[in-house]
């Protein structure tokens, strides 16, 4: 479903191929750990281990919620909201009310007072369900936002706290367990062997997506397709794209590259790339190592960062991510395309493009950037996804990047699953706040 083109890697192709055996062996070692249920490896093969059954249960529960609600508020930060937002932003039609899914709003992913006030104001004429997502229950941003949301629920729906608050946490250690027991609200488990940035296919992502009306079985099936392909991969036949991608990133680092820029063609993927940045940043940014993950939204960023890519510091690996099928799917399941029209008042030079699909022009622009940056000497990967932007392909992409990230970190001698540096700012903040 994903193919990786290494033709424009600025002469690094042979070194990538030389690294493949090491990458494959390292991946085999990881799968042995995952099969033995080593700590923090529970995300690999998650759909088959428990995800399909959990998804069915959550989907069924969501359809039986015994209170009227017209939106969902996810209260969480980092991996507790990023995967959910990646799916929702990619698929929810933001500018129309004609949609089978309910809107999802987000709180607890920042400390911005103004944004939280605006959300609380917006909720005044809504009937929300609040899904607070926190493994520990002690993370500052979601804890304080949840206080504000809980105060709102207590004032507007004083007799419906148990029905309108859903908790996703560590049911053994999380500080939210006391709240669940006291209020009697529904709770779901964040698996102890899955870290936050790898948790989108667990209850962390499945609960709010089911509540919003998404058919999460498609998301899980997409991920399962990637995991299954890795189990069946045979280096004697053809190197798996995960191995190639990790080998290319590892080689780029060894050649002095320090930035991995993921270029994409639709603003619908802004939140997905934000999820991708957390995944790679927290997993690889240790021991003075790790490619800095940056997103490039094309064609928008071709009118800003395009200048830098063409003539700035060249120590960048640029990954061009494209879909081979595009189009907008209406709620009725009908594909819609936009052809360049011929308004009578038009006075520009683009008459020759009349009748061509807008997405075709977008693809040409992406290919043009690929050619220009590669000719400049920037090593470029082309990541082509066989399909359109939907739940299935998103599930596949989540799994794909999780595996690439894990393998690249292992090749660098890093633990992909911890984030010790994150705690430093928290210690300072707690000291300054006297908490």
The residues that are catalytic are 282, 303, 426
Q: How many CA atoms lie within 13 Å of 411's alpha carbon, on the beta-carbon side?
A: 30
And the tokens for 329?
A: 């799917």
Is the N-terminal amide bond of 299 cis, ω within 30° of 0? yes
Are 296 and 261 contacting, i.e. CB atoms less than 8 angstroms apart?
yes
Bridge partners (DSSP) of residue 72 are 104, 129
Residue 408: exposure state from Cβ atoms within 10 A (0-12, 13-18, ≥19): buried
Tokens 């089911």 locate to 210
Are 359 and 326 contacting, i.e. CB atoms less than 8 angstroms apart?
yes
Beta strands in 76-114 (DSSP E): 104-107
Q: What are phi and psi of 146, to 5 degrees?
A: -65, -35
Nearest to 59 by CA among 219, 196, 176: 219
Dist CA 94 CA 103 (whole Å): 9
What is the DSSP-derived secondary structure letter of residue 421? T
DSSP of 156-220: H-TT-HHHHEEEEE-TTT-TTHHHHHHHT-EEEE--TTS-GGG-TTSHHHHHHHHHHT--HHHHH
């Amino acid at each position: 479903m994903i193919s990786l083109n290494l033709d424009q890697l600025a002469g690094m192709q042979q070194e990538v191929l030389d690294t493949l055996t090491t990458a494959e062996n390292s991946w085999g070692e990881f799968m042995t750990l995952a099969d033995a249920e080593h700590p923090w490896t529970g995300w690999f093969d998650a759909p088959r281990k428990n995800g399909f059954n959990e998804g069915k249960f959550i989907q069924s529960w969501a359809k039986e919620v015994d209170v009227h609600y017209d939106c969902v508020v996810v209260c969480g930060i980092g991996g507790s909201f990023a995967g959910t937002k990646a799916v929702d932003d990619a698929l929810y039609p933001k500018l129309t009310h004609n949609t089978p899914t309910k809107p999802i709003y987000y709180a607890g992913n920042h400390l911005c007072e103004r944004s939280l006030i605006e959300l609380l104001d917006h909720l005044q004429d809504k009937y929300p369900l609040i899904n607070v997502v926190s493994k520990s229950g002690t993370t500052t941003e979601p804890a304080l936002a949840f206080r504000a949301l809980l105060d709102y629920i207590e004032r507007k729906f004083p007799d419906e706290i148990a029905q309108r608050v859903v908790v996703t946490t560590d049911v053994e250690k999380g500080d939210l367990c006391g709240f669940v027991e006291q209020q009697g609200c529904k709770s779901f488990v964040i698996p102890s062997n899955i870290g936050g940035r790898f948790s989108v296919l667990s209850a962390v992502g499945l609960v709010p997506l089911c509540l919003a009306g998404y058919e999460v079985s498609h998301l899980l099936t997409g991920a399962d397709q990637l995991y299954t392909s890795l189990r069946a991969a045979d280096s004697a036949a053809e190197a798996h794209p995960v191995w190639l991608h990790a080998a290319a990133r590892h080689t780029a680092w060894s050649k002095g590259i320090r930035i991995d820029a993921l270029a994409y063609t639709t603003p619908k993927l802004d939140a997905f790339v934000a999820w991708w940045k957390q995944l790679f940043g927290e997993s690889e940014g240790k021991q003075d190592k790790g490619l800095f993950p940056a997103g490039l939204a094309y064609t928008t960023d071709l009118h800003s960062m395009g200048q830098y890519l063409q003539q700035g510091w060249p120590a960048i690996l640029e990954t061009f991510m494209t879909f081979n099928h595009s189009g907008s799917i209406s709620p009725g399941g009908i594909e819609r395309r936009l052809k360049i029209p011929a308004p009578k008042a038009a006075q520009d030079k683009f008459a020759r493009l009349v009748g061509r699909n807008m997405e075709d022009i977008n693809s040409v622009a992406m290919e043009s950037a690929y050619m220009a940056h590669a000719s400049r000497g920037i090593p470029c990967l082309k990541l082509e996804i066989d399909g359109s932007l939907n739940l299935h392909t998103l599930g596949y992409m989540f799994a794909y990047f999780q595996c690439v990230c894990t393998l690249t970190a292992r090749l660098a001698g890093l633990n992909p699953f911890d984030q010790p540096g994150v705690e430093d700012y928290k210690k300072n903040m707690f000291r300054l706040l006297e908490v």
